[in-house]
């Protein structure tokens, strides 16, 4: 179980690093919200944290 948690934390850290690389000017809150969208999906992240990070013109097709 300990090893599984370590691997999970490593994967999360790589995902966050990738998000920071794609959005170099984002502050910590924006990165947090983008990660929430990644893990929870747009609908649930919006329900839990409010408006999505990306506006209509910036959303992926």
Q: Provide the greatest CA pair distance for the chain.
A: 42
pLDDT in tens, 2-50: 999 999 999 999 999 999 999 999 999 999 999 999 999 999 999 999 8
pTM of the model: 0.74
pLDDT in tens, 4-17: 999 999 999 999 99
| Residue (of 2, 36, 1) closest to 16 by Cα position | 36
- Domain positions in the chain are 2-58
Question: Taking 70 as the threshold, does the pLDDT of residue 55 lie above it?
Answer: no
């Amino acid at each position: 179980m300990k090893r599984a948690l370590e691997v999970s934390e490593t994967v999360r850290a790589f995902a966050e690093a990738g998000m920071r690389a794609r959005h170099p000017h984002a502050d910590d809150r924006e990165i947090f919200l983008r990660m929430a969208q990644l893990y929870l999906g747009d609908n649930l992240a919006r329900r839990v944290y409010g408006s999505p990070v990306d506006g209509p013109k910036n959303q992926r097709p």
